[in-house]
Structure 1
Amino acid sequence: MDMPDPKTGPVPTGYFRWEPEEDDVLICRAVRDETHDVKTFVFAPRFKRQFEFVSGQFLTFEFEIGGETIHRCYTISSPPSRPDTVTITVKRVPGGPISNWLHDEFRPGMMLRCTIPMGDFSWAGMQDQKFLFLSGGSGITPMMSMARSAFDHALVSDIEFIHAARTPADIIFRDELEFMGKRNHSIKPTFICEDDAVFERWPGFRGRFDRAKLEMICPDFKERVVFTCGPAPFMKAARRIFEDCGFDMSRYHQESFNFDSFTEEAQDEINVATEIIETPLTIFQIEFTKSGRVVECPENMTVLEAARRAGLRLPSSCSKGLCGTCKSNVKAGTLDMQHSGGIRQREIDAGKALLCCSKPTSDLVIER
């Protein structure tokens, strides 16, 4: 009998899968403190259902805060081997409206709307047996889902797990990773701290992640598949280290959601659009009702790009029509939207659109 690949998620029989098209509301079952500024939120469907996803995917939640609807995506930190609940792990960000609301106001029993799990930052389907997980700060969550799945299924995969944190007190999932490492020797966690904590002097690797530490911790890294996630500067530095080492970058995978700046892909598209704009194009007027701003948008540019180029800071993340973060109400006008699943048909029918993948075909009025 063919055995299911544990990396692709559970294959239970006789169960009902959670279908957000039928009921997109999740109820919070528990809130757990991970560090002084990181909490894990445990969710379950309102009715008896089970989640189906692969490690590394994310969920996009809808928040109603201060009379405004805000969409944010969070990577799933729980493994697919525990399908009755799903968890997200959120770090408090100074001034961040969502993270602070979750930490201060959100409690068990409260509910949020959510989309299906999405994203392709995953080891699902890979036949490789040697992996290097490299994370910084709250970027640990997708790799933690993979490691938990490996532990639950007693996989024989060889996993080097390197996590960088500011201090020992900031190491997310420290106790659990150390426990998994002791019980399953194929999972080998190593922590790097920049400084000591108030009540703990750090005896391990110190400073920032660099090539020397990589070669000491994981001398056979060139034989592994690498997954990396963390803050933008961490990601940029890590990628440069592997490129300089002559690593086969086809075996290097990274994921990072950044709500404050363009992704590299989006910036490339903007540069291309800047070059093309010199040719005759139809220019449309885009009015944003909340800010009162009106910007010009050529027919070959997305609404999000035009807004950003005009200095408007609109929420976005994937820039691929996938996560739903930039979802907005279109009050008037028409557009061409080429999304990748980040919006439902009923939302489109209600006049919503994803600005990151929508190009105007007329003047627009957008509720932003």
Structure 2
Amino acid sequence: MKAVVYESFSTPPQIRNVVDPTPEAHGVVVKVMATGVCRSDWHGWVGHDPDIELPHVPGHELAGIVEAVGKDVRKWKVGDRVTVPFVGGCGACPECHSGNHQVCDTQFQPGFTHWGSFAQYVGIHQADINLVALPETLDFATAASLGCRFVTSFRAVVDQGKTSAGQWVAVHGCGGVGLSAIMIANAIGAHVVAIDISEEKLELARKLGAVATVNATRVANVAEAVTEITRGGVHVSLDALGHPTTCFNSISNLRKRGKHVQVGLMLADHSTPAIPMSKVIAHELEILGSHGMQAYRYDAMLAMMQSGKLAPEKLIGKTISLEQSIDALMNMDRFEGSGVTVITEF
């Protein structure tokens, strides 16, 4: 099969012909019809993920068609249209038994723990608990765009933040994760304040439902600006970028007993950010993480999509070829353009 492969970290990947995957007894092989280009892939490429073994094929936001099925798989057959959470569970550990596959003790992640979806085919483990059936009406590019950013945002806003109609929500960073969170919070009936340094991204945030925006380069204090807009601070705040500054601002702009949800990855030099702990204590704030979403929770999200409340296709910025994905991957840290980039030509 054709795949994007890198032999060492931070060096240009290449298009190569490599051996096709074969399914594990409990897994399947998926023919990749679309796969997103995510900043998490960039983190892996530069060497921030200790699970990656070289040479490596990136890619974890995928949708496609089941090509081959392992002998122990019961729920899936060749030809099924599927997607998959970027964190897969083993089905046997205490976390999986409690329904929290997204923090499985022996989790797997395509594109990190094993070769991913910047390829014509990808192997998926423990298919019976990790695959998600796609409605016939959902195109593959949109399905792939759900894989990491949208589902993580859904869990952050709905399951972790427990956002409700009428609440104020701040979203720091208007990339794929942030724009997804804005759309989801707006669909629930929350009032969203979007924060970014790009007017282009803030304009898209307004189109997706943000009732107010803050350009962080044009105010002296982001937290104070958000607090003034919301007359006391937000109920739920998300750091959708993953930077010490956005993390600090997200906690600082909460009202009393508010919830901060960390969605953007904090890796390497950013892994131990300063936080306003005195405010966390005095105002009884909650600090939560959001790391993927279980396969069985997709039904709630897909129902909102089918009802028209969510339209993730609006988040797709452009579609590209596998060859073009190399430049897209290497330039992810430049935050160029808006929306989600999806590979649809293999």
TM range (shorter): 0.3 to 0.5
RCO higher in 1 or 2 (8 Å CA, sep ≥ 6)?
2
- Taking structure 1 as the reference length, the TM-score comes to 0.32
The structure richer in helix per residue is 2
- Taking structure 2 as the reference length, the TM-score comes to 0.34
